[in-house]
Every structure is written in structure tokens, then in C-alpha cells.
Structure 1
Amino acid sequence: MVSMDLARRGLNTAALSLRFLRARDPFDAGSNTICTDFVTWLSREKGARVLEIGTRRTEGGAPTTRRHWAHSSAEYVTSDFMAGPDVDVVADAEKLSESFETESFDAVIGCSVFEHIKRPWLAAPEIGKVLRPGGKVFVQTHFAFPVHAYPYDYWRFTREALETLFGPESGFASCDSYYEFPAAIVSRELYLSAYGHSFLNVCCVAVKGEKRAT
């Protein structure tokens, strides 16, 4: 039989979570339309220069690059901080501008990589540096996901976290985000498992601001 103390703790946790959920509905974004709109845009950008970060294929793994998102005439550059399959350029995401010219890419893609970057607050403005004005970045990372180290697993993100990382301070004029793959988090030690919405992934598309006239 469940003790009253355990049940009370569970109810308090659930109530607190519902209180904060009212601040922002996690479903208020356009869901996957943000991603599909980005892919549609990129597929039509003839001759675009595209950078994808964190592309090194694990041993025995399948290719994970999104090269097929881009137009066939695009120059598609893949990078990772370690050499290996599917890596064109070895580059540190926290120091991209040391490996690539500033304002040299029309788009940057980072899928399942930001949770592995030690200092993502340095990587976001570096992406802003290598993007051309009006260029776009697509990031997919995790909100709730099992620990997975390739080689290290540092972070989990909310929509607000991505919108902050890819905000004006990093050179971006706009940032739209969404959650995907609803999930349930269950603890063996907590009687009530439902405390609000959980998701496996969180994604965003941010647009770099245009140059201001001097």
C-alpha cells in the first residue's frame, strides 16, 4: 500500500509542474512544420554552401548526415571534432571560425550534437559567425533521452534554452522551436509518474540577422 507521505509528495510535484506548464503550452509551436519548412527552403537553394557539424559515423553505424536535404548543386561540408567516416573537416564547434571563414555558409545543421558539446553557449555564436546574413541554422537535440556518450554526454535542453542560445547575442534575428516525440518519464521511487509533458527531442531553426547599414 502506498504511504500517505509518498502520495502527498507525488501530488505536490504534479501540482507544481502543472503550475509552471500554464506559463507556456509546449504545443504552441508549429511542430514539424518548422523542420519541413527548413528542408523545403534548403532543397531549393541552388549552389548553397552548407555545413553540418557532428557528423562522424560511429564504428559500424549508418551514415547520419542530412546531405539529402540540400539541393543537388549545393556544396555540402561535414565536420566533427574527431576525424572519421563522414567527416570532411576536423573542427571544434566551439571554435568554428578558426576552421572556416566568417559568413561563408548559407546554412548550418546540427543533429543530435549539441548535447555532446561541452560549452554550447560558445558554439551558438560561432555558428552565427560562419553563417552569412540571412542564413539559417537547424538544430535537433534532446530534452529527455538516455545517457549516450559519443564520447561525452553533457546537456539536455528546453525550447527556451535553444531560443536563448540562438538569440540576438549570438547574432540571430529570430528563432522558432518545437518539441517532438512525446514521452513519459517514470520513476520507480515516485508513486505518481505524470508531471507534465516530456519529449525526446527539441529542435529549432534560427535566422542570422542582416548586416546593418553603416
Structure 2
Amino acid sequence: MYGFFKSVLKKALNLSTPLTVGTKNEETRNNWIKNTLVKIPAGGRILDAGAGEQPYKVFCEHLSYVSQDFDQYNAGGDGVGLQRPSWDYGKLDIICDIASVPEADNSFDAIMCTEVFEHIRHPREAVKEFTRLLKPGGYLILTAPFASLTHFAPYHFYSGFNSFFYREELEEAGFDILEMEANGNFFEFLAQEINRISGVAASYSKDSLSLKEKLASKVLLKALQRFSGKDKGSSELLNMGFHVLARKK
């Protein structure tokens, strides 16, 4: 019976084209970071601030890589919101507060800080510290959510940051923004959260979607994919997050 309904659903929705809307958040961010790191001149010293499990170290082979984190998150956190079932910082070079790194002024040619700002109680202090640590002309690579669900609690202090935060804070801290790219758009974000419904319902309602509800979600996802393909700037309303490349004056 399920096979019959699946066949009817596929025909009704014409799903010969896969529904990928809302599924490219991490992939898009990873590709941007990889391509941006290539732009940093070889031989430079880079600080991975809030490095976590150091997923981007592999893209820094042309650089002198230094990892930093506060080394306090454990898998499962406090059990609230989204958590990781396992977590391994690996060997960190520096364990400290991100706003107080024990390195001299002008110590780095580049700093990378990815998906960290929402976990810092005072992100403005981190920006000031990056200014101190970077050499004049040094590069700053930043990404953070525009809006995010509670994750890694109790170390989650902000839902996200929009473009105005970066423009105001980075300019005041002495940076020129070379590139600022929105990851996704309004429609992609909504689709991402629709794709989460089954997991969230299982965790928080102990319930699941019926076949009709799954059909309804597929119909809506198909519409969102169409809207996203025709998008004319909805990222200004909502997106997954901004990717920023800046340079210290």
C-alpha cells in the first residue's frame, strides 16, 4: 500500500527532479570557506578561533595553522536543544577565552572564526581581539548564522547576526569588508526547518507525520524550491547566515 501511495505522490508532484531546497546550508558554507582559504597567501600564520573539532584544518596546508578554543563543550551539553552525540576537540594549540588570546599584537596573517559568534557572550570583544592579533593587511574570515535554533547549550547566547552587525562592528574595529555573501534565502531557510519537523516532532511531541502530512510537506517544499529558483533578494529578510571576508586596514 505504501508503495502505491509513493507512486501516486511522485506522479502528483512530478518528483523526477529531487527536492534539494533547504539542504545545502553546510555544504555551501564549507565550499565558501575552502575557496576563501585558498586566497590567503601561502606561508602565512592563521588562527582558527573557536576551532571546535578543527574541520577546516585540512584546507590550511599552505598556511601555518594554529587552533584555539575554550575546550569546555562536552557531547550532549546540558541536554537542551540540538546537541552533538559525540565531540572531540583533538589537540588544540591554545586553550583560552576567545577574547583573550595569549599571543602578541600583530601575530597572525589571517584569522578564521566559523559558526562561533552565537556561542560567545560578548562577540564585540572577540572582534576587538581579532583586530589586535592581526597584522595590518591581515585577513578575517567569519561565518555565523543569521537565525539559529538553540544548539550546544548552555553555550548558545544569540540566535544569529545580520549584515548590519558586520558592517557596523567590523568598520568600527578597523576592517574593510572585501566580501559578504548570504548563504541561502528566505525560501531555503523555511525549507530547512520543514525538513527538521520529523526529528523535532519525535523529540518534543513523541509523534510523527501522517502520510497526508508528509504529502503536504512535499507539496510545500516543491513550491519553496520553485520560489527559491526565482528569488529576487529575499535573503535580506532571512537566510542561513553570512560569509564574510574582511581585511584589517
Describe the shift of the 1:150–1:108 C-alpha distance in structure 2 as closer, same or farther (beyond 3 A). farther
User: Counterpart in 2 of 1:106?
Assistant: 109
User: Counterpart in 2 of 1:161?
Assistant: 165
User: Counterpart in 2 of 1:25?
Assistant: none
Whether 1:144 aligns to 2:147 is yes
User: Counterpart in 1 of 2:63?
Assistant: 74
Whether 1:88 aligns to 2:93 is yes
User: Counterpart in 2 of 1:170?
Assistant: 173
Could you tell me the percent identity over the aligned residues?
23
What 5-or-longer segments of structure 1 have no aligned partner?
A: 1-30, 58-63, 188-195, 210-214
Based on CA coordinates, which of the two structures has the bigger radius of gyration? Answer: 2
For this pair of structures, how many residues does the alignment match? Answer: 162
Q: Aligned partner of 2:243: which letter? A: C
Written as runs of structure 1 = structure 2, the 5 A alignment for 1:110-121 is 110-121=113-124
The 8 Å contact of residues 150 and 156 in structure 2, kept in 1 or not, is answered as yes
User: Counterpart in 2 of 1:200?
Assistant: 240
How far apart, CA to CA, are the structure 2 residues paired with 1:46 and 1:150? 37
Q: Judging by fraction of residues, say which structure has more strand.
A: 1
The 8 Å contact of residues 34 and 59 in structure 2, kept in 1 or not, is answered as no
TM-score under structure 1 length normalisation: 0.66
Describe the shift of the 1:35–1:55 C-alpha distance in structure 2 as closer, same or farther (beyond 3 A). closer
The 8 Å contact of residues 34 and 56 in structure 2, kept in 1 or not, is answered as no
Q: Judging by fraction of residues, say which structure has more helix.
A: 2
User: Counterpart in 1 of 2:78?
Assistant: none
The 8 Å contact of residues 52 and 65 in structure 1, kept in 2 or not, is answered as no
How far apart, CA to CA, are the structure 2 residues paired with 1:112 and 1:35? 11
1:51 corresponds to which of 47, 62, 81: 47
How far apart, CA to CA, are the structure 1 residues paired with 2:178 and 2:169? 9
Q: Aligned partner of 2:93: which letter? A: D
State the SS of the aligned residue for 1:93.
coil
State the SS of the aligned residue for 1:174.
strand
Describe the shift of the 1:66–1:37 C-alpha distance in structure 2 as closer, same or farther (beyond 3 A). closer
- Aligned-residue Cα RMSD (Å) equals 2.9
Show CA shifts across 1:131-172 (max 9, x none): 0111101111000221102541112100111222211x2121
C-alpha displacement of 1:128: 0.8
